Homo-oligomer: A and B are copies of this chain.
């Protein structure tokens, strides 16, 4: 059977990543990997989850924990998220919160909500690879979101029209973004909101790393800034995507979208049709763990990851040759390296693996236009200080020899 002749047109956009395939083969112990962007499992609050799951399966709760539940999510967890949103100057109610299976699902649903084939999404150059993957299923064009660029709303609208659709949203990962580690400053956030007002589009605010700030001054979420402008979340176009994957644990797949109740209502219908609801027992466990250990636990994460970030920045300072530059993130898990213009990150990965046994993610895949060949993403979340020092030393040697 020739499946290609019956696949939907969107399947042309879903290709296996060569790099991902290469990095899959990295389970050898002599390789130092800065490739994964995943939390350190040694830091998971396992005891709290043991207690929470035992409680979810106690006689009082088991019938609910193992049963179907409502598409909008477990009400006590939605209520706890409301308290977190309010602490970020986002006054809202339970009706403004949908529980998703991780914030990756939030991005998929928002693409599905907004994009018809040929529409345009504004994204950073580079941007989160998983956002491009999620949106690709809905066959958009991409245009470059330049928060302080000199393109007007009319320029964007015209380019989208020429591509047969209209601009539907601007997507931005705001704090210590994957892949760059950079944070959008307040003026850039305000700039995106103004552009979105002019274009009459949605704003997707990806806040997956929000709690992992190690220093510097917190900047209000775009949703908070928009509420300050417009008085109520119900008047806002920003849809905030949050996640427990970086703060508690990713394996339970729990995240959320916070936004105007009209949009949340439509997303509830979408979720009902797509997977009925996120795991009931996992939502109950996340709720219990969040209410018992969230503040203390995330404080501990910040201490550990901050030290690893410091170790990586110090090692880069010590070892990197001239002509190599990097970001200095105030949080998150990533440092972004820019190599001299002529160097190709994917080629460097092949030689680094062979000669220096060090891994990272070449940056090109993070660019919707496939530029940025001379960039790399390093993650400091999984390695201890000694491994970070040694890995960066090896990477510098690979760059010198390239």
Query: Which chain B positions have C-beta within 8 A of A136?
Result: 273
Q: In this assembly, does A83 line the interface, its C-beta being within 8 Å of a C-beta of chain B?
A: no
A153 → chain B, closest Cβ, in Å?
14
Q: Which of B251, B260, B275 contacts A101 (CB 8 A)?
A: B275
Residue of B nearest to A51 (CB): B57
Residue of B nearest to A276 (CB): B104
A120 → chain B, closest Cβ, in Å?
11
Q: Once bound together, how far apart are the Cα atoms of A115 and B202, in whole Å?
A: 26
Q: In this assembly, does A157 line the interface, its C-beta being within 8 Å of a C-beta of chain B?
A: no
Whether A200 lies near B116 (C-beta < 8 A) is no
Whether A44 lies near B16 (C-beta < 8 A) is no
A267 → chain B, closest Cβ, in Å?
10
Whether B269 lies near A14 (C-beta < 8 A) is yes
A368 → chain B, closest Cβ, in Å?
14
Within 8 A of B (CB), among A1-51: 1-3, 5-11, 14-16, 38-39, 41-42, 44, 46, 49-50
Query: Which chain B positions have C-beta within 8 A of A272?
Result: 133
Residue of B nearest to A5 (CB): B200
Q: In this assembly, does A146 line the interface, its C-beta being within 8 Å of a C-beta of chain B?
A: no
- Contact indicator per residue, chain A 98-134, by CB within 8 Å of chain B (1) or not (0): 0001101100100011111101000000000010011
Q: In this assembly, does A280 line the interface, its C-beta being within 8 Å of a C-beta of chain B?
A: yes
Whether A201 lies near B6 (C-beta < 8 A) is yes
Within 8 A of B (CB), among A249-276: 249-253, 260, 262-263, 265-266, 269-270, 272-276
Whether B115 lies near A8 (C-beta < 8 A) is yes
Q: Once bound together, how far apart are the Cα atoms of A281 and B63, in whole Å?
A: 19
- Contact indicator per residue, chain A 222-237, by CB within 8 Å of chain B (1) or not (0): 0000000000000111
Interchain Cβ contacts under 8 Å between A and B, 24 examples? A1-B260, A5-B200, A6-B114, A7-B113, A11-B113, A11-B266, A14-B269, A38-B67, A38-B68, A39-B67, A41-B66, A44-B63, A49-B57, A50-B54, A53-B54, A65-B251, A66-B251, A68-B251, A102-B276, A130-B276, A133-B272, A134-B273, A251-B279, A252-B279
